[in-house]
């Protein structure tokens, strides 16, 4: 699993994704084991990062579903969820707070 996470973050990093964060959600009552969040440089870059992931990770990774918009793309690899977001959407939806609380076992607490 760690090799898969490293490969995904390497692809994102080498293609100029910013603020890449990995959340270990194993045994945390969440539907995936890991979530990865990365910021794009803008809408076109969001799509470009998805293309890089598809090109560099297939066929070793199975893309179960991809939900695309120009501001936020979610890639479902089954046990790993990848969020690629524009900086504005990343601030607006603040997934880090939710996933951090979940990873720390504080999912029921208010922030």
Q: Which domains does the chain have, with CATH numbers?
A: 2-97 (3.30.460.10)
- Block means of pLDDT (10 residues each) for the chain, 111 residues, are 97 98 94 98 97 96 96 98 97 94 70 33
Expressed in percent and rounded to 5, the helix, strand and coil fractions of the chain are: 40, 25, 35
Residue-level pLDDT at 110: 39
- Beta strands, E only, 25-108: 34-39, 65-67, 72-76, 80-85
Confidence (pTM) = 0.92
DSSP state of 81: E
């Amino acid at each position: 699993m760690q090799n898969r996470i490293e490969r995904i973050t390497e692809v994102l990093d080498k293609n100029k994704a910013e603020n890449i964060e990995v959340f270990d959600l194993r045994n945390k009552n969440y539907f995936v084991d890991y979530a990865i969040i990365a910021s794009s440089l803008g809408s076109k870059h969001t799509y470009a990062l998805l293309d890089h992931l598809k090109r560099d990770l297939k066929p070793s990774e199975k893309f179960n579903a991809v939900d695309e918009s120009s501001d936020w793309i979610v890639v479902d690899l089954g046990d790993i969820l990848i969020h690629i977001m524009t900086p504005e959407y990343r601030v607006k939806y603040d997934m880090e707070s939710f996933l951090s609380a979940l990873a720390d076992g504080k999912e029921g607490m208010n922030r």
